[in-house]
Chain A
């Protein structure tokens, strides 16, 4: 069976920057594939090219068997694209938005009603069909976007940070719907900057400045990070990093929102040493503990290794 999405050296340049640089990957039917990376890594640009709304400058890509450069309209009939910014009509109701996208793809009335009922139930949105899309919460909006994207049974769905700013309950609904689709043979390509979401993907591609660093399963990706992450929460983050950045066993030190993340070779052995070092230096902190690596930790470890080959 040919891949649902296949790119080969896909490239997009904007004035002064190569947003996507020779990207090559494949997504298969029944697979959730994650594009992971910080802002500016090229995730959105990649998805836009695959959705046929942006022309590539080099390389090629096929979506559901159609070449996106030569026959973009054929690809568009078989894919659904959910942009990062809410793309539905806020002045239309939930049901009217669904009807519009169903009509655009020529879905029959019976099919639309059955499919919408099933999807809305799964999304927990059945009571809200007559509500204006603009009056929905952020999570509801994203779930409605997914319902509209799925109403015509596409072969490939492209989701750009679909759960950004979405409450945990809605995120759970969202993922339940995504998994239920896999039986239908859909290929799902999504971008995310959340690591916990990247872990739910079958495979992820880690992007940095338009280039792919790794493309593998989340387990393999995490194995890239040698050691463990220790989080130190405190006000004097900069001084803490300065004091511990060069300590024994510390591979990497990263400033985060509420403190510092240290990548260490052995958490059990280093945590007491770090506590002692901070006390000696007279630095106060609120909490010091081992945590699950975040996407940032992985990313920093990966890019720093890349810088020092």
Chain B
């Protein structure tokens, strides 16, 4: 590797990136956009589920029960209707996700000691929200039951009894159970996968398309010099984007950062090398900018999004899919990022993940240099 040739390529690429407004826009706007979109848009906490009610009795007690739904932050009572068809229509149109029907003899049967059934109709097109709606409804009913018991006990002059068993919970790492703490560090991995592979996927293909490659390969530049020279500017951009995203995560989304900066830097460096050389490899193989950029998105963005544990915990995936996730570099980076931000894990605990990233980096850089030939075909 000759330094003067390497520097020549780095200089040339940097000038070209600086003059390519769309690329510059992507490097700055994409991280901001994705951070905000995911930081605010992706939430697994279910809140303010829209609810319609059909109170067939309309007594003080039925209204009292409904107030418990109103008081919960999980539900939002939108409308009370007075017939079934209106309720069905609301579910059909998506105006509500949960419909509560209170029977005509609600208070009567309650004072007789029950049992009384309140009907809950739930829109289960989104099964996750539906599940949560149902368990929250049951929790509301449970609370109401307890209050009724207490009232009954007090009315009969008995002492209140303590429940003998309770679970004393303490949440670790993400004390307020906020999904942003889980999502935002993961977004950094997604952003780096996209920036790293998408931008570099264009570099070689562009030279073939514009006809500049024929002259370039007639010079003594080596494939390694070409690759390193082309990737260095994007590596710097990738690191700057990481700093930008980390700053946003800590200062704006208030995600705790408990780990060591060195671990963050080391893992980011490894992951950047992985995605940059993957993008470069795709560019070498594709030879057209359109094909290369599409392949880059499919090969990096989608797996990083779906199979890295970003959206769904890997240990909850089917066994076969779990095996596949081991081939997704973003999987290891995702683990490291979340651990570094939230748990403050130190290097020994992350050794296997770091090692996996290093292995991917080594394999992909070797493949990328080998794939490039200084010949026209």
Contacts and interface: CB of A to CB of B under 8 A. Distances in A.
B374 interface: yes
Given A48-B214, A52-B218, A87-B215, 11 more contacts: A51-B218, A53-B214, A53-B375, A72-B374, A76-B219, A85-B211, A89-B16, A92-B12, A99-B11, A104-B221, A106-B4
B210 interface: yes
Given A53-B375, A73-B220, A104 B215 contact: no
Interface residues of B, number: 27
Q: Indicate the member of B20, B219, B221 with the most A CB atoms within 10 Å.
A: B219
Contact of A83 (B5, B20, B211): B211
Contacts of A104: 4-5, 8-9, 219-221
A285 interface: no
A55 B375 contact: yes
B19 interface: yes
12 contacts: A53-B217, A53-B374, A73-B222, A76-B219, A76-B220, A81-B218, A83-B218, A87-B216, A88-B215, A89-B212, A91-B16, A91-B19
B7 interface: yes
B362 interface: no
B2 interface: yes
Interface of A: 48, 51-55, 72-73, 76-77, 79-83, 85-92, 96, 99-101, 103-106
A246 B8 CA distance: 63
B43 to A, nearest CB: 43
Q: Indicate the member of A82, A83, A90 with the most B CB atoms within 10 Å.
A: A83
B220 A105 contact: yes
B215 to A, nearest CB: 3
A100 B218 CA distance: 14
A105 B210 CA distance: 22
B15 interface: yes
Nearest to B17: A91
B376 interface: yes
Contacts of B20: 91
Contact of A103 (B7, B16, B374): B7
Interface in B7-35: 7-9, 11-12, 15-16, 19-20
Interface string B201-236: 000000000111011111111100000000000000
Given A92-B16, A100-B8, A53 B218 contact: yes
Contacts of B216: 87
A103 B12 CA distance: 10
Nearest to A78: B220
A119 to B, nearest CB: 17
A22 B11 CA distance: 42
Contacts of B374: 52-53, 72
A79 B212 contact: no
Nearest to B374: A53
A226 B219 CA distance: 44
A101 to B, nearest CB: 7
A88 B217 contact: no
Nearest to B217: A53
A82 B218 CA distance: 9
Contacts of A83: 211, 214-215, 218
B8 A103 contact: yes
Contacts of A55: 375
A39 to B, nearest CB: 18
Interface in B214-269: 214-222
B199 to A, nearest CB: 16
A105 to B, nearest CB: 7
B155 to A, nearest CB: 85
